Amino acid sequence: MDFEVIFIAGPQGSGKGTQGKKLADKLGFLFWGMGGTLRAISQEGTPLAEKIAVMEDGTLISDDVIIEVLRERLPYVPREMGIVFDGVPRTAAQAGFLIPFLRGEGRRKMATVFLDLPRGESVKRLLLRARKEARADDTPEGIEKRFRYYDEMMAPTIAYLKKETTFLDIDGRPSVEEIAGNINTALGV
């Protein structure tokens, strides 16, 4: 496997964070979870932190702020370190910034792992996660809001990723371990 950047994509509840972390650990890559990055920055008391709206009601951050975060923070990742991204790009505008930016840093070999999961299974998993983790954004209203956004914004983003990266469609329904194995096989690791 010679990929330098791997994007984990898929609907809510498909296991992007879990699979992204497992993959980053296996490969020795940095795991860039956009949600965690935003939550950490929001605690810093900086001008950028002030721009990050409270995400607890399922509201998503604007493209401009996401791009500012990426532009500011990505140069600190050592060039020789691979990156697994979870939660970005979520829009065509984010993809249109991020992929050329990474290429400009010399990171040219990119893959997208798309975790495909039916909507009913996504909702079931999110409601279970809400009970287990008490995540404030996993309310029925927050979930519905995120699905509306996903339906509107991800189709053009996925089309862009299919065009610009090696695109791997992975069934998101099996067990965590089986999915991880399928990802590893698809990536050749």
Our count of domains for the chain comes to 1
Looking at residue 125, what is its pLDDT? 87
Domain CATH for 98:
3.40.50.300
Tens-place pLDDT, residues 30-86: 999 998 999 899 888 888 888 885 555 556 688 999 999 999 999 999 999 999 999
- In this structure, of 29-38, 40-49, 160-169, 170-179, the range with the lowest mean pLDDT score is 40-49
- The answer to whether the predicted template modeling score (pTM) of the entire model surpasses 0.75 is yes
Nearest CA-CA partner of 165 in 117, 90, 72, 103: 103
Read off the amino acid at residue 148: R
Looking at residue 116, what is its pLDDT? 95
Name the percent of the chain lying above pLDDT 90.
65
- Mean pLDDT value across residues 127-143: 76
Cβ partners under 8 Å of residue 98, min gap 6 = 67, 70, 85, 88, 89
In order, the DSSP letters of 56-81 are: TTSPPPPHHHHHHHHHHHGGGS-TTS
Tens-place pLDDT, residues 97-120: 999 999 999 999 999 999 999 998
| Coil vs helix vs strand at 86 | strand
Looking at residue 110, what is its pLDDT? 98
Q: Which domain holds residue 15?
A: 5-187
Query: Residue 22 — φ and ψ, nearest 5°?
Result: -60, -45
Looking at residue 133, what is its pLDDT? 75
Looking at residue 54, what is its pLDDT? 52
